[in-house]
């Protein structure tokens, strides 16, 4: 059975029954197992597992430190364009919304990169809406080439492309790709994406596989929490991750945990995920995949982000702007509101106070690990 078939044929009734029937012993065994199965993961999403969340969190923290050390990597999102042809009901870039639309030109992109480099970042994530007319593959390729002159790691969060187009971007120097399915629930996905290329559920679902085939070194997955039941999203995300890790074992995969922040009063979150839900999800997935990187953005409030540093997060953003030109070129319509506006310097201080090492540069062609020199240069 293919990945798409596995996702679409996911048995909700059987899943719901397992959540209610899981026993205290099954939960305890799953928490204590050195390596858990997919079935164990489902047990860890159960009602009984909710009662053992402190034990689950303790195990997640232990595995995170064992696998990743006490290190927090920093990255910063750079929005190049907020123009979009899609009509995603939940998104601030929705084509029907009346916002200031911008696609940065070369001069403005350079201003952004210089401003970000001056702050001290060395890991950037370039983002666009889906508007090939002004932000097509050649535009993105040029932006990647410019970014490599300033930064060691260049990641992308753009609309789905073919293997051929992704290979072009990898050849230009792109290191990573993040693509969130938004929701793995097919019916919800169809409802939320009524118009535009993004309405093709299967093409988006298979995007990470095309990216891996094209040679991206790092690929990020995730669901936008709040569109559907977080437990079902977790179960399907785990299926997706397991499939990719087995087929593309040379690729490094990470998981992101964005929670839905409605762009306007006319959209209500269908299935809100609480802080406790988010923690439960992250801890269960950490036991399922100790090796995956876990990312947390500035969508979350400062207190929660600080607490999750001690738990299972390995990479965070800081000082984020969610509008094109937000760091220096210009300011236009944002995709979502930032709840944690603390600067990189402030977040580095928080990480150090918690006994963790902040990493600004974690890789280049000749060296893997922390670049202390880069950190001193950025913050000394």
Place of tokens 């995969």: 253
| Greater model confidence, 242 or 332 | 242
Domains of the chain with bracketed CATH: 55-379 (3.20.20.70)
pLDDT above 90 as % of the chain: 81
Buried b or exposed e, range 40-79, using 16+ CB within 10 angstroms: bbbbbbbebbeebbeebbebbeebbeeebeebbbbbbbbb
Residue 124 has pLDDT above 90, yes or no: yes
- CA atoms within 13 Å, Cβ hemisphere of 238: 26
pLDDT band at 232 (very low <50, low <70, confident <90, very high): very high
User: What is d(CA 348, CA 72) in angstroms, rounded to the nearest whole number?
Assistant: 9
Range with the lowest mean pLDDT among 2-6, 170-174, 225-229, 335-339? 335-339
User: What would the mean pLDDT of 108-131 be, rounded to a whole number?
Assistant: 96
User: What would the mean pLDDT of 227-237 be, rounded to a whole number?
Assistant: 96
pTM for this predicted structure: 0.91
User: What is d(CA 258, CA 75) in angstroms, rounded to the nearest whole number?
Assistant: 15
pLDDT band at 278 (very low <50, low <70, confident <90, very high): very high
User: What would the mean pLDDT of 220-239 be, rounded to a whole number?
Assistant: 97
pLDDT band at 330 (very low <50, low <70, confident <90, very high): low
Q: Give me the helix-helix angle, 344-353 and 302-309, nearest 10°.
A: 40
DSSP, residue by residue, 49-78:
HHHTHHHHHHHHHHHHHHHH-SEEEEEEEE
pLDDT of residue 372: 36
pLDDT band at 329 (very low <50, low <70, confident <90, very high): low
Range with the lowest mean pLDDT among 17-31, 129-143, 363-377? 363-377
| Greater model confidence, 98 or 77 | 77
Residue 350 has pLDDT above 50, yes or no: yes
DSSP, collapsed to helix, strand or coil, labels residue 256 as strand
Give Cα separations from 348 to 176, 228, 359 (angstroms). Answer: 23, 34, 9
User: What is d(CA 127, CA 328) in angstroms, rounded to the nearest whole number?
Assistant: 16
| Greater model confidence, 337 or 357 | 357
Buried b or exposed e, range 134-154, using 16+ CB within 10 angstroms: ebebebbbebbebbeebbbbb
pLDDT band at 29 (very low <50, low <70, confident <90, very high): very high
The token pair at 217 is 């070194």
Buried b or exposed e, range 256-276, using 16+ CB within 10 angstroms: bbbbbbbbeeeeeebbebeee
pLDDT band at 280 (very low <50, low <70, confident <90, very high): very high
CB of 337 within 8 A of CB of 300? no
| Residue 95: partners with Cβ closer than 8 Å, 6 or more residues away | 84, 85, 86, 87, 195, 196
Question: Distance between the two ends of the chain, CA-based, in angstroms?
Answer: 54
| Residue 315: partners with Cβ closer than 8 Å, 6 or more residues away | 72, 73, 74, 75, 254, 293, 294, 295, 296
| Residue 19: partners with Cβ closer than 8 Å, 6 or more residues away | 42, 45, 46, 47, 231
Q: Kind of pairing, strands 123-127 and 153-157?
A: parallel
Residue 361 has pLDDT above 80, yes or no: no
Number of residues that make up the chain: 380
């Amino acid at each position: 059975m293919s990945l798409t078939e596995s996702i679409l044929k996911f048995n909700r009734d059987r899943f719901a029954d397992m959540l209610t029937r899981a026993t205290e012993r099954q939960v305890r065994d799953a928490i204590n197992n050195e390596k858990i199965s997919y079935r164990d993961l489902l047990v860890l999403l159960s009602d009984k597992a909710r009662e053992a969340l402190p034990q689950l969190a303790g195990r997640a923290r232990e595995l995170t430190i064992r696998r990743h050390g006490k290190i927090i990597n920093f990255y910063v999102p750079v929005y190049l364009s907020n123009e979009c042809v899609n009509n995603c009901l939940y998104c601030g870039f929705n084509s029907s919304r009346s916002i200031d639309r911008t696609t940065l030109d070369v001069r403005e992109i350079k201003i952004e990169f210089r401003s970000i480099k001056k702050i001290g970042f060395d890991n950037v994530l370039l983002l666009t809406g889906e508007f090939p007319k002004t932000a097509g593959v050649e535009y993105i390729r040029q932006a990647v080439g410019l970014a490599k002159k300033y930064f060691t790691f260049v990641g992308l969060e753009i609309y789905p492309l073919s293997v051929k187009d992704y290979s072009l971007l990898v050849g230009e120097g792109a290191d990573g790709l993040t693509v969130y399915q938004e929701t793995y629930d097919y019916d919800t996905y169809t409802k939320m994406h009524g118009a535009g290329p993004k309405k093709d559920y299967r093409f988006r679902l298979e995007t990470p596989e095309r990216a891996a085939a094209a040679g991206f070194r790092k690929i990020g997955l995730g669901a936008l929490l709040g569109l559907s039941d977080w437990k079902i999203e977790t179960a399907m995300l785990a299926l997706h991750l397991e499939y990719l890790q087995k087929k593309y074992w040379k690729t490094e995969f990470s998981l992101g945990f964005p929670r839905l922040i409605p762009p306007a009063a006319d959209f209500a979150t269908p299935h809100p995920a609480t802080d406790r839900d988010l923690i439960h999800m992250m801890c269960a997935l950490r036991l399922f995949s100790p090796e995956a990187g876990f990312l947390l953005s500035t969508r979350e409030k400062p207190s929660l982000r600080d607490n999750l540093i001690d738990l299972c997060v390995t990479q965070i953003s800081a000082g984020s702007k969610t509008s094109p030109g937000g760091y220096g070129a210009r300011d236009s319509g944002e995709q979502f509101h930032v709840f944690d506006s603390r600067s990189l310097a402030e977040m580095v201080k928080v990480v150090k106070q918690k006994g963790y090492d902040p990493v600004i540069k974690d890789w280049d062609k000749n060296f893997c690990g922390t670049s202390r020199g880069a950190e001193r240069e950025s913050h000394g």
